[in-house]
Chains A and B, each alone.
Chain A
């Protein structure tokens, strides 16, 4: 598969488990994003990495921990989640907007459907 890929596509976990979501982009981009999509709510930006540095953290609880080892890979480590964390987690990538420059198009992965029991 080309573009932006995510694994796993579905995940069921208990509140005491530790799991990780993986995202990989094959577009040569240098910015990557994690979003949370819940029913009846807008897409919520969680984290932004640009040039492998975290540039935004939107008041996300510490039970979510991102990692960006290189410009093609992004992880979201999960531990001691709550049932209200059940949602679709979407990864996206784009070219880095550059300081003061215009934003570039974000391309989304297919998402990981997470259920926390």
Chain B
């Protein structure tokens, strides 16, 4: 089945810096790549997604890039703020299923 690898597992940045999280996937048929943010004790919430017909998508301080040839996609957060601190999960679809990475714990220090 699909295997999604996510790095790094933890990331600490200073407020205002950028954060980058990278994921790779194995199923060449995957065509949907969402990113979820999960704050402590709360449900995962979609922050941005990208489909295989585009290479990049941006929403304010958040951007995602996709390289289908290399089977990797990345999340970029610019001008980080303390409220960006959370666990971020990438995922890639395999049919109905979403296969998730293990998560990246992001800490933004003031």
Contact = CB atoms under 8 A, between A and B. Distances in A.
Instruction: Give the one of B51, B95, B96, B103 with max A CB within 10 A.
Output: B96
Interface in B78-104: 89, 91, 93, 95-103
A107 B36 CA distance: 10
B44 A108 contact: yes
Contacts of A107: 46
Interface of B is mostly: strand
Interface residues of B, number: 24
Interface residues of A, number: 23
A109 B43 contact: yes
A48 B96 contact: yes
Contact of A45 (B43, B46, B97, B102): B97
Interface of B: 4, 31-32, 34, 36, 42-46, 49, 51, 89, 91, 93, 95-103
Please give me the 3 A-B residue pairs with the lowest Cβ-Cβ distance, nearest first: A43-B100, A103-B32, A108-B43
